[in-house]
Amino acid sequence: MDIDAYVADLGRRARRASRAMARAGTAAKNRALEATAAAIRAAAPELKAANARDLEAARAAGHDAAFVDRLALTDAVIAGMADGLAQIVALPDPVGEMSKLRYRPTGIQVGQMRVPLGVIGIVYESRPNVTIDAAGLCIKSGNATILRGGSEAIHSNRALAELIRRGLAEAGLPEDAVQLIAVTDRAAVGALITRPEYVDVIVPRGGKSLIERIAREAKVPTIKHLDGICHVYIDDAADPDKAIRIADNAKTQRYSPCNTMETLLVAEGIAGRILPPLGRIYADKGVELRGDTRSRELLAAAGIACREATEEDWRTEYLAPILAIRVVAGLDAAIEHIATYGSQHTDAIVTEHHGRAMRFLREVDSASVMINASTRFADGFEYGLGAEIGISTDKLHARGPVGLEGLTSLKYVVFGDGQVRG
């Protein structure tokens, strides 16, 4: 099979479908999402049968339990996919929204209109529910999409893509608005990410090595994040109860998400009061602590074990029950630490001091910056965007959780009545 020709054919179809999607009305797009949701609910047995083939192959290939877990289409996951589509239906349609229309002295009226990006390529690992989330967001935002899911989920993804295409057809929208790369050959990814004539943006989701490779080789812009080295800084003027609650939640509510805290910074003036009770909570939950000299002293005095942190610890996204801890002089040192070691993902300050809170908010250059809240809130659903297509730590276009708006851009619109330039 000629992979390049196959992907180019998908690309041409997607480009054509993208024009119809860009002019599609809100009602038609919602109808497609609702029809797909209904089809998913109705087809649960078929979906589980297709998924069973993937699960069997994954187990035979020796994948671990966590991998198999992510791959599984259980009744709960199937219901969740359908519910997710219903949530996207409920979101306002971003396309066509006009803003900032103002008259200029020449008499023309100038503003901006929100429009779809065009064709979105999504490369993801073996989580079949991403097929539905991603397609749903692309449909609602008026984009066409080409999906490339992990090869281990191929039967599940084919079955899901078929339901989406039927949903599109029911709504009178082009089926090619959502296409799945139905071959597992890895060359297909290379073909997809190097064809700007067919694809306007690539959203890579998955492990860091996959994303790095795609970012390096892509000839198409990407929306992505590599690391989530998130910090909580507990200021001198923090409310100790809030500080302990937030630092506990940011680390232990779940260990694997990218918005989980990896390094805790504590101001010198409050460290003696915060670290012993907080360290006890972590120790009880089995979190391994790695600290600088001062935090180790304070923890040791309270009988809590803490390894010595190395330079490498400040740069590490553990995604595990391990936490780096550093006592800092105050706000400036905290901001400096985050600028040096952070990944511009999500960082929070805990303080009741208004001026320091506002300085942290302005000066920390991360996609999400928080005052007195857990970093775990950095998520499209918690922010009210509905589902998210991904998270961006890039500086251009969208930063942070990327929902419908991040899949659109603003073009200028000019209303005149015969004006010419003098």
Residues near a second copy (CB under 8 A): 19, 22-23, 96, 102, 104, 106, 108, 110, 113, 115, 117-118, 200-201, 221, 239, 241-242, 245-246, 248-250, 253, 339, 348, 359, 361-363, 365-374, 376-378, 382-384, 394-397, 399-401, 409-421
Q: How far is the CB of 183 from a second copy (least distance, A)?
A: 27
Place of tokens 């609702």: 34
* Matching residue, tokens 């009602």: 27
CA dist 244 → 100, 127, 240, 251 (Å)? 43, 34, 6, 11
Is 144:177 a contact under the CB 8 Å cutoff? yes
Query: Which residue lies nearer to a second copy by CB, 300 or 339?
Result: 339
Work out how close the CB of 359 gets to a second copy at its nearest, in angstroms, rounded to a whole number: 8
Residue 6 or 381 having the CB closest to a second copy: 381
Pick between residue 51 and residue 346 the one whose CB is nearest to a second copy.
346
Nearer to a second copy, 56 or 363 (CB): 363
Distance of alpha carbon 417 from alpha carbon 420, whole angstroms: 9
Q: How far is the C-alpha of 58 from the C-alpha of 71, rounded, in Å?
A: 9
Give the nearest distance from C-beta 16 to a second copy in angstroms. Answer: 10
Nearer CB in complex with a second copy: 297/352:
352
Q: How far is the CB of 114 from a second copy (least distance, A)?
A: 11
CA distance 319 to 258: 7
User: Which strands make up the sheet holding 178-180, listed edge to edge?
Assistant: 178-180, 144-148, 119-123, 201-204
Question: Which residue, among 5, 98, 81, 88, has the nearest Cα to 40 in the 3D structure?
Answer: 81
Look up residue 252 and give its two tokens: 């232990």
144 DSSP assignment = E
Minimum CB distance to a second copy smaller for 114 or for 165:
114
By DSSP bridging, strand 322-328 and strand 307-308 are unpaired
Work out how close the CB of 230 gets to a second copy at its nearest, in angstroms, rounded to a whole number.
12
Least distance between a second copy and beta carbon 61 (Å): 34
Shortest Å distance, C-beta 240 to a second copy = 11
Query: Which CB sits closer to a second copy, 5 or 411?
Result: 411
Q: Which lies closer to a second copy via its Cβ, residue 79 or residue 361? A: 361
CB contact at 8 A, 208 and 226: yes
Q: In whole angstroms, how close is the CB of 6 to a second copy at the nearest point?
A: 24
DSSP 286: T
Task: Tell the smallest beta-carbon distance from residue 397 to a second copy (Å).
Answer: 4
Contact 8, 190 (CB under 8 A): no
Closer of 51 and 393 to a second copy (Cβ): 393
> Which of 95, 375, 61, 144 has the alpha carbon at shortest distance from 246?
375
Q: Do residues 380 and 390 make contact, with C-beta atoms less than 8 angstroms apart?
A: no
Residue 78's nearest CA partner among 50, 44, 45 is 44
DSSP string, 58-94: HHHTT--HHHHHHH---HHHHHHHHHHHHHHHHSPP-
